[in-house]
Amino acid sequence: MANSTKKIQTSQINQTSEKLVGVSFEIGRWTGQVRVEETNRKNHFKVLELYPLNGLKFFYKVRYRAVDNWLDTYGIRYMSTWIIPESLVDSTHNLFNDLKEEFFEGVSKFSEDYEMRKIIWQKKEPFWAHLINEPRYNVENLIKKFYFEWYFYQLIPTKTNSVIQKTFSDKMDKIDGAIYEDVAKMAHKLWEKTFSWRESVTPRVIGPIKVIKDKIQGFSFINPTFDATVLLISRAIQGPPMKAKDLIPEKQHMLMKNLIYLLKSSELALKGSQRVLDGADPYEVLSNFVPQHFGKEETTLILGTH
């Protein structure tokens, strides 16, 4: 991505980091499988499914809601953790408490189901039946493999070590670019799913666009360009109340289409937002944005200047 945003000064970076919070999140489970060496074939192994994966659906459901639907949507990846705006700490904590409760309800159902499945599996695999009777496969031990944990931490660099200060500043300076890259991925999915081929859309498409808006707005204190991007999004989805099955007017549909095409390129998103910062009206920016030959990789893009 072209670096058209100005580098943030160290003092600004420290002020920005105070409004950002790190989130470490981990979720784990027992695999439901065991790897065993085949009889009379040294160093040849096969995997036995002691417990069906479909019985562990609760794990994937909770993980999806915590990571894909929340942390990746409203935060950004940071090393092996995430960064979210401080304003989302309470809602994140409340959501994770609810998900943790749901998760361990699933673990409880797993433990109840396991004993019954154990008998079925022993009949199905009589040669390996002794395995499941080993202490390590007792339900009490297996439950210990399920965990749902998180904690928050503040991004505050030490002022006494120049190396730490510099590496921290370098990382913070790239955050705005990382956010636009995340937005580009979200917009690309929306483009492929809807705007690249539909000649008309319903108000249902506004929901995913608002999610993109909320993500950018949450980090708006980092860079004024984000505020301008929010103005572009707000203008594109602005319209009278409509029923779910109504068709969005052609002119507004085109604004949305231009917006999503613009957002799926972090470079174009920055250019369009900069025009708003320079005083251009968001409607004019989106109206004069001319994607030639929509849908083709070799598309030439023109940002209107009038």
Residues linked to residue 84 through DSSP beta bridges, in sequence order:
21
Q: How does residue 10 score in pLDDT terms, banded at 50, 70 and 90?
A: low
Q: How does residue 11 score in pLDDT terms, banded at 50, 70 and 90?
A: low
- Can you give the pLDDT at residue 3? 45
- Can you give the pLDDT at residue 299? 42
Terminal Cα-to-Cα distance of the chain (whole angstroms): 25
Residues linked to residue 78 through DSSP beta bridges, in sequence order:
81
How confident is the model over 32-90, as pLDDT tens digits? 888 887 766 666 778 888 888 888 999 999 999 999 999 999 999 988 899 999 999 99
List of residues 6+ apart from 62 with CB closer than 8 A: 27, 99, 102, 103, 106, 148
Residues linked to residue 48 through DSSP beta bridges, in sequence order:
34
Quick check: 98 pLDDT over 90? yes
Structure tokens that stand for 53 in this block = 């994966």
How confident is the model over 160-213, as pLDDT tens digits? 788 877 888 888 888 989 999 999 999 999 999 999 999 999 999 999 999 999
- Can you give the pLDDT at residue 129? 84
- Can you give the pLDDT at residue 119? 87
Residues linked to residue 82 through DSSP beta bridges, in sequence order:
23, 77
Q: Which of 9-18, 68-77, 255-264 has the lowest mean pLDDT?
A: 9-18
How confident is the model over 103-116, as pLDDT tens digits? 999 999 999 999 88
Mean pLDDT for all residues in the chain: 87
Burial profile 109-128: b = 16 or more Cβ within 10 angstroms, e = fewer: ebeeebeebbeebbeeeeee
DSSP assignment string, 170-236: HHHHTHHHHHHHHHHHHHHHHIIIIITT-S---GGGHHHHHHHHHHHHHTTTT-HHHHHHHHHHHHH
List of residues 6+ apart from 81 with CB closer than 8 A: 22, 23, 24, 25
Listed residue (13, 26, 87, 94) closest to 59, CA to CA: 26
pTM, two decimals, is 0.84
- Can you give the pLDDT at residue 305? 45
> Based on the number of CB atoms within 10 Å of its own CB, is 130 exposed (0-12), middle (13-18) or buried (19 or more)?
exposed
% residues pLDDT > 90 (the chain)? 62
Q: How does residue 306 score in pLDDT terms, banded at 50, 70 and 90?
A: very low
- Can you give the pLDDT at residue 13? 56
Listed residue (277, 280, 235) closest to 258, CA to CA: 235
- Can you give the pLDDT at residue 9? 53
